[in-house]
Amino acid sequence: MFLGKVVGTLVSTQKEASLDGLKFLVVRRLTAENEEESGYVVAADAVGAGLDEVVMVATGSSARQTKFTDKRPCDAVVMAIVDSWEVSGEEKYRK
Amino acid sequence: MFLGKVVGTLVSTQKEASLDGLKFLVVRRLTAENEEESGYVVAADAVGAGLDEVVMVATGSSARQTKFTDKRPCDAVVMAIVDSWEVSGEEKYRK
Amino acid sequence: MFLGKVVGTLVSTQKEASLDGLKFLVVRRLTAENEEESGYVVAADAVGAGLDEVVMVATGSSARQTKFTDKRPCDAVVMAIVDSWEVSGEEKYRK
Amino acid sequence: MFLGKVVGTLVSTQKEASLDGLKFLVVRRLTAENEEESGYVVAADAVGAGLDEVVMVATGSSARQTKFTDKRPCDAVVMAIVDSWEVSGEEKYRK
Amino acid sequence: MFLGKVVGTLVSTQKEASLDGLKFLVVRRLTAENEEESGYVVAADAVGAGLDEVVMVATGSSARQTKFTDKRPCDAVVMAIVDSWEVSGEEKYRK
């Protein structure tokens, strides 16, 4: 999984039918030091994440292992909201 | 998923039999700020996307989770046409 | 999928038994503008592609969705020979 | 698989239900010469790895092939603690 | 698949139980011109490859399609020893 920050939302009405009801989030990648990178992903939301929240994203077939994304053409999912993490004994983020 | 712009089409007559009837689109990658990148993918079309349309692309095994791509050797699918998205409260694209 | 040019062949006699009979091609990646890149992949051939032919390659589990590659340890397959493609209304390649 | 060093831990209370009980580790990538890279991954722990330990990480659907991660939205797992490795006859790491 | 050279071995005693008996190889990536790159992967051995041997590596779920790796948390496998390959009519490697 990688760490990301929810920076936006996306609206799509014309889409594969099985995707109805899914909420799509624009998630910016974060370094392990909690700095925003230019990379991003659009991920389905499985945990009710809000704007500016720091989250974990799972990709690939693992992104389909939630009730929201099962058997859907979805390759990225926000599967956890992060409370905190530390690196080398130093706290890099706390909610 | 990543955001992309449909910039072209591709024709192939000699191909794996199960791919008959699929429409292949050349999709240029977009940044979260809606700028075209040099990267691209050729994706099967599952939503009737047209030229210059901004779309979402799912890759990997998730690309096979549509009736058009099920059990086919296809690793990228246009599974949604984008209406709009915003980043940091700013609209980056509207159809 | 990505676009590639078949630039070579590969011979292997000591290999996983299920791979017997598969033909392995060295495929150079092409940009959407039809320029050769340094990146390459070794892909199984599912369509009888020849040297110098421009092809599409599918990777990952999707590469196993052909009768030649089903249930085999193969992560890339040439699944189509390209007739032509265009980008922004300009033809980039014609066979 | 790639080699990594466990540099931190991550706490998440609001997450996909199936992830309850999983321990999440922040793993820094190592080169084959045992130098830390900037790249990282957050991986589930399947072997009881501790801080500063050198480990192997499997990603993608392979990350779900443990009893801890089976059918869970988890795309990276620490599946081995490394005792030692060598490159070109030179030992690069010993526990 | 990509081409690689077996440059080392790795020992791990504390690992996911299903991995017992697997041999782990450190494989350096090769360009299509047979030059070593800095990139590497740790792969399970399915063909009895030795040090300095040139091999093909399959990754992702395809790495699990051998009797050695089936249902194991393993995302890379050496599935062939290379005899020779050529690019643009020029032999780049012969065993």
Is residue E63 within 8 A of residue D61, CB to CB? The reply is no
What is the least distance, in Å, from the CA of E24 to any CA of chain D?
9
Quick: pLDDT tens for E12-61.
999 999 999 999 999 999 999 999 999 999 999 999 999 999 999 999 99
C-alpha–C-alpha distance, residues C41 and C16, integer Å = 19
C-alpha–C-alpha distance, residues A22 and A46, integer Å = 9
Does C15 touch chain E if contact means CB atoms closer than 8 Å? yes
User: What top-level class would CATH report for the domain B2-94?
Assistant: mainly beta
Q: Distances in Å between the alpha carbon of C11 and those of A45, A69, C51, C95, E93?
A: 46, 42, 15, 27, 10
CATH 3.40.50.2300 assigned to domain E2-12+21-94? The reply is no
Give the start-to-end residue ranges of the domains of chain D.
2-94
Q: What is the DSSP letter of C88?
A: T
- B partners (3+ CB pairs within 8 A) are A, C
**Around Cβ B69, how many Cβ atoms within 10 Å?**
28
Q: How confident is the model at residue C70 (pLDDT cuts 50, 70, 90)?
A: very high
- pTM (two decimals): 0.97
Quick: pLDDT tens for A11-25.
999 999 999 999 999
pLDDT of residue D12: 98
What is the least distance, in Å, from the CA of B85 to any CA of chain C?
24
Q: How confident is the model at residue D82 (pLDDT cuts 50, 70, 90)?
A: very high
Quick: pLDDT tens for B56-88.
999 999 999 999 999 999 999 999 999 999 999
Is residue D7 within 8 A of residue D50, CB to CB? The reply is no
How many CB pairs lie under 8 A apart between chains C and E? 98
State whether residue A17 is helix, strand or coil: helix
Quick: pLDDT tens for D16-49.
999 999 999 999 999 999 999 999 999 999 999 9
CB–CB contact A14 B65 (8 Å) = no
pLDDT of residue C49: 98
Q: Hey, what's the torsion of the CAs at D31, D37, D41, D43, to 10 degrees?
A: 50
CB–CB contact C60 E62 (8 Å) = yes
Is residue D64 within 8 A of residue D41, CB to CB? The reply is no
CA atoms within 13 A on the CB side of B75: 23
Chain B stretch 50-89, residues whose beta carbon is closer than 8 A to a beta carbon of chain C: 60-61, 63-64, 71-76
